[in-house]
A = this chain, B = another copy of it.
């Protein structure tokens, strides 16, 4: 209630801000997966993966169910796909922009001396 909307949004994005969490969400888009599979797909340590899964669970974006010896995760209904698609589009734009910059830098160096523009 007393949580300002902007803060909720920021927290949401922060919750997405980890490579393993992103990867898990992308994997779950194809359907439920047992932890075992996620473990293999991500290649991280079990306890580390578990911590990241806990973050996603706490946020309510995934749901875990126990099936005998294994635990299965699935998206909690949200349409994550669209979000990731939108992000991918912007990211492509940003990375393309960086390539342009690099190209520019290359060309500039051929014509004149060292002339740095951005540190990275």
B-contacting residues of A (Cβ < 8 Å)? Answer: 4, 6-14, 16-23, 58-61, 76-80, 82-91, 93-95, 97-98, 120
**SS class of chain A's interface: helix, strand, loop or mixed?**
helix
Is the beta-carbon distance between B8 and A95 smaller than 8 angstroms? yes
Is the beta-carbon distance between A58 and B120 smaller than 8 angstroms? yes
Copies in the complex: 2
List, in ascending order, chain B residues with CB within 8 A of A84's CB: 9
Is the beta-carbon distance between B13 and A13 smaller than 8 angstroms? yes
CB of A106 to closest CB in B, whole Å:
14
Q: For residue A14, which residue of chain B has the nearest CB? A: B17
Nearest 7 A/B pairs, CB to CB: A14-B17, A13-B16, A6-B19, A83-B86, A13-B17, A10-B19, A78-B90
